[in-house]
Chain A
Amino acid sequence: MAAGIRLESVRKFFGANEVIKGIDLEIEPGEFVVLVGPSGCGKSTLLNLIAGLETLSSGHVFIGGQKVDTTPPRDRDIAMVFQSYALYPTKTVRQNITFGMETRRIPKAHQDAAVEEFTHLLQIDRFLQRKPGQLSGGQRQRVAMGRALVRNPAVFLFDEPLSNLDAKLRIEMRTEIKKLHQRLGKTAVYVTHDQIEAMTLATRIAVMDNGHIRQVADPATIYENPVDLFVAGFMGSPPMNMIRGRLVRDGGLFFAPLGDRDGVRFPIAAAEAARIGAPDGQEVVLGLRPETIFAAGTELPGPDRFVFERPVAVVEPTGPDTMIVFEIGGQDLIARVRPEDAHPPGTPFRFEVDMGKAKLFDAGTGLRI
């Protein structure tokens, strides 16, 4: 049975240092919520507060409708997967997996059935008699998952479970975690600093920064409609281009990059322009995702397109796409083009921008306009 989680003005101090600065969050039963943010933003601490591995400084935590502020971890009906795997080095894989059931005095027959089911599912049934030291990183990761799964808890908590794996294995395990979630339908809270993991796994993403949640929404909204420059800059790889400049009202609404002497003026899309009441000359930041800048004429024509020419500064092939770095007014921008459209550095290049996907932010507050 899945249980919801509710956080009410949760705060945590370490000494005088406030790490969690009043967080409210409601997680529905069966949801997969990813807490994402840079290191030190408090995401792991928040997870530990849900787990009961840290004591609340103030506020409340509810799991399955029960207030668990003073409930020890073992009575919260949770299971947790740790970044370091935290396997018991002197126990075999089997003992690692059954330890939690042993301490809960679950009947032997039930334990055996659970071990069989989940070790088979995770393909670690061949290693049951081995010690963690004899396993590879990926296998240890699976054992750590198995240890959480056999408990059949109401809530799964993941603390950067994939960050110690190599890139290929990480993608494999990511898919597997998603499959498991779809199959078991349990509530999961997942901490990561990897925005791709967040995008791929989450039903909802909570972007954290400096002890606050900046935005909670489904992955598409986070990506397409970030509330501020922080969220916009954190999600996406390569990151969103952020150009400083001014609004120009001149028979329409335009964006003029700072420091630009070539007179490039990005026309703001009509729908967006109609909404914006900011005065002429206001300082703003224009956000352009690299994939919204491409070689002119290579995509089907659409509304709100804008074409301009710049010399190529750097070419970075990634395989499926090639990144082209160029400059506007001394600010580096990245465009994502098809490999066959790339030009060598130094040559002029005609770029096309989909201004319909451009975002404007207030230069002072960083908030979306």
Chain B
Amino acid sequence: MRRRRTSGIVRPSGPGAVMLRGLLFAVLALFCLYYLVPLFVMVATSLKSLEEIRAGSFLSLPREITFDAWGKAWNAACVGVRCDGLEPYVWNSVLMTVPAVAISTILGALNGYALTKWRFPGADIIFALILFGAFIPFQVILLPMARTLGQLGLAGSVPGLILVHTVYGLAFTTLFFRNFFIGVSDGILQAAKVDGAGFFGIFFGIVLPMSLPAIVVTVIWQFTQIWNDFLFGVAFTVGDSNPVTVALNNVVNTSTGVKEYNVDMAAAIIAGLPTLLVYVVAGAYFVRGLSAGAVKG
């Protein structure tokens, strides 16, 4: 694909225009700084030793780069009374997030497909009800959900969290896929029906491969939501089954001993990295999928 550097529209020129552009870039630079300084402080601090942090300014570059804090955050920092670092909790988060994202995405796709392409009486009402789920504040359902998990024998466990996240993600995933499928031509479905395919044959054979953009958006959204969730994690898990967000909180809030800012910063970055990774990897797929699958008319 050829890329043009500008849109080609004729712009005003002259000293006034140059000044305005200068002003525009100054404002943009200011905003960049505003967003990037916290990241800089985190990365810089995580690479410093404790002595350097105490001695210097928190805005200065590290004099000596050391990864000790990262190592400690990963496998030696104390989370509550246990001092194994964040590693086991990162795995908890992975074990929770991956199935929850996968299940909620595939069910959302099925919902959206059924709601748009296999219309049934009351489909709109059902969609409205599902959509309503997107507006329920999560605090409201903490108690009933705790009781439900207890009844199911899933209280305080990772599978319990998977269930919670799947159920509360469905509103969003259904919305995403429903809005995508509504734009898919019914003719394709009719052709597939004449071709002899049934509900699942069309879903897996035709519709799902077409919905890569929707899948990517949903996966990024769901992964970010579930990985970053703190409320359900702290409410429905205990100790060893905590997700990394809860563990991070416990690392930072450990009140015994010296405050290790470098370890805290490293731990925070570790907890945040996976969402960034998913965004970059899935985003790349997204762009490629858009240009490869583009069908006009």
Contacts and interface: CB of A to CB of B under 8 A. Distances in A.
Contact of B190 (A82, A90, A91, A104): A82
A80 B190 contact: yes
Contacts of A147: 191, 195
Interface stretch (B105-113, B154-162, B289-297): B289-297
Contacts of A164: 297
A72 B293 contact: no
Nearest to A140: B297
B259 interface: no
Contacts of B191: 80, 82, 86-88, 147
A166 to B, nearest CB: 12
A86 B190 contact: yes
Interface size class of B (residues with CB under 8 A): 20 to 34
Given A51-B190, A103-B195, A131-B293, 20 more contacts: A48-B190, A53-B190, A53-B194, A78-B194, A80-B194, A82-B190, A87-B188, A87-B191, A89-B293, A90-B206, A90-B209, A99-B192, A99-B206, A100-B194, A100-B195, A103-B196, A104-B196, A133-B294, A133-B296, A151-B195
Contact of B187 (A78, A83, A91, A99): A83
Interface in B175-201: 185, 187-188, 190-197, 201
Contacts of A48: 190
A53 B295 contact: no
B205 interface: yes
A57 to B, nearest CB: 16
Contacts of A88: 188, 191-192, 206, 210
Contacts of A86: 185, 187-188, 190-191
Interface in A18-50: 48
Interface of B: 185, 187-188, 190-197, 201, 205-206, 209-210, 293-297
Contacts of B195: 74, 99-100, 103, 147, 151
A137 interface: yes
A82 B187 contact: yes
A164 B206 CA distance: 23
Nearest to B206: A88
Interface string A44-87: 00001001010000000000000000001110001110111111
28 contacts: A51-B194, A53-B194, A72-B193, A73-B193, A73-B194, A74-B193, A74-B194, A74-B196, A74-B197, A78-B194, A79-B194, A82-B187, A84-B185, A84-B187, A85-B187, A86-B185, A86-B187, A86-B191, A88-B191, A89-B188, A90-B206, A91-B206, A91-B209, A99-B195, A100-B195, A103-B197, A103-B205, A137-B297
